[in-house]
Amino acid sequence: MAIAPNRKVFEAAAAWYVQFQADPPTLAEQKAWQLWIDSDPAHLAAWNQMEQLQRHFGTLPQDLKRRALNTGQQRRQVLKLLLLATGTGFLGWNAQQHTSLGNVWADYKTGVGQRRSLSLADGSQIQLNTDTAIDVSFDAAQRLIRLRSGEILIETGKLGDQRPFFVETHDGRIQALGTRFSVHQLSGSTRVGVLEDRVSVQPADPSTAAMILKAGEGADFDSRHIGRLLPFESSAVAWTNGQLIVLDARLGEVIDELGRYRSGVLHCDSRARDLRVSGTFRLDSTDAVLANLQASLPINVRYFTRYWVSISHNV
């Protein structure tokens, strides 16, 4: 049975998390943190929740990173700001017992590093990437997929079903027009990429005109705006085969992507982030990927714990 952390434990986890966001931990801090994690299952549960907040809402605001954490009052202020920043309250978090914000009620979901394939009643195929949650709602009028979080690849059914097929995200709706396409819920926007046929993208604001995306095209959109068209290639969904394919990409972007497939913090300093990298990497073995990157680039990969890895540029 899962251990639900209480408010004080969550507050302590927030304090550790923000402290480590501001500066890489010293050896003494790392040991103290590991002792705290190991001393109670609720501590690890609270820490996992902090990681989930980061994955769902992005990095913490700069004012949190600058805030000192030496007193109980300051830790309470940090906790309050964290809860405000994530748009949720402690009671809502506690009720969901450290699962991905509401995803405990999702029809289908994956954990960090997991992938899953689904076959729907209309013949459609859906592949769920890491840390993804969806609801499926088919009725007489429509076929609707609600993407709560994460990333999916959809191939609509070929059985002649005439009901419209929609994917709904926090930012709006995508209508499939006989197609194969990807939808990724980002922090504050949705990314759509089309591999076959077309989709129609409609932001939540009804005053914003819909846009048609064709095969090979992608775009990000939020509730009011649709960004510029970008090329979208099959390599962008290599995750369906457990791969990450990059060509002359910034190391920081690669590390951010790898971080989606492993538990814990994967920190990369600013100098290392600007290095360029190309290759095909296995997503089910991120430690091996990090070892290969260290062997081929001027970087050091340090494991403070299995949950905390720091990457720095060789001086």
How do the domains of the chain map onto residue ranges? 7-103, 106-233, 242-313
Closest CA to 11 of 39, 40, 41, 49: 49
Question: What pTM value is reported for the model?
Answer: 0.72
CATH of 242-313, one of 3.55.50.30, 3.30.2320.20, 3.30.70.360, 1.10.1140.10: 3.55.50.30
Evaluate whether 264 touches 306 at the Cβ level (below 8 Å): yes
Other C-beta atoms closer than 10 Å to the C-beta of 182 total 24
5: Cβ contacts below 8 Å, ≥ 6 apart: 13, 42, 43, 45, 46, 49, 94, 98
Closest CA to 133 of 168, 176, 95, 159: 168
Q: Does the pLDDT at position 21 exceed 70?
A: no
Residue 164 phi, psi (nearest 5):
-65, 145
Q: Which tokens is 94 given?
A: 């506690």
Q: Does the pLDDT at position 245 exceed 70?
A: yes
What is the H or E stretch that residue 295 is in? helix 286-296
For the stretch 56-70, pLDDT in tens is 544 444 444 444 444
Give the whole-angstrom CA distance, residue 182 versus residue 174: 10
Tell me how many helices (H) and strands (E) the chain has: 9, 16
Three-state secondary structure call for residue 255 = helix
**Mean pLDDT computed over every residue of the chain:** 83
Three-state secondary structure call for residue 102 = coil
Other C-beta atoms closer than 10 Å to the C-beta of 55 total 17
pLDDT-derived band at 135, boundaries 50, 70, 90 = very high
For the stretch 247-291, pLDDT in tens is 999 999 999 999 999 987 888 999 999 999 999 999 999 999 999
- HSE-up of residue 160 (Cα within 13 Å, Cβ side): 0
What is the H or E stretch that residue 30 is in? helix 27-38
For the chain, percent of residues with pLDDT exceeding 90: 56
For the stretch 64-103, pLDDT in tens is 444 444 445 554 555 555 555 444 444 344 434 334 445 6
CATH number of 106-233: 2.60.120.1440
Closest CA to 174 of 120, 215, 212: 212
Evaluate whether 144 touches 166 at the Cβ level (below 8 Å): yes
Evaluate whether 144 touches 120 at the Cβ level (below 8 Å): no
What is the H or E stretch that residue 176 is in? strand 172-185
pLDDT at res. 119? 93
Give the whole-angstrom CA distance, residue 167 versus residue 64: 34
Among the ranges given (108-122, 140-154, 203-217, 299-313), the one the predictor scored with the smallest mean pLDDT: 299-313
For the chain, percent of residues with pLDDT exceeding 70: 79
Evaluate whether 132 touches 110 at the Cβ level (below 8 Å): yes
Among the ranges given (20-24, 52-56, 61-65, 300-304), the one the predictor scored with the smallest mean pLDDT: 61-65
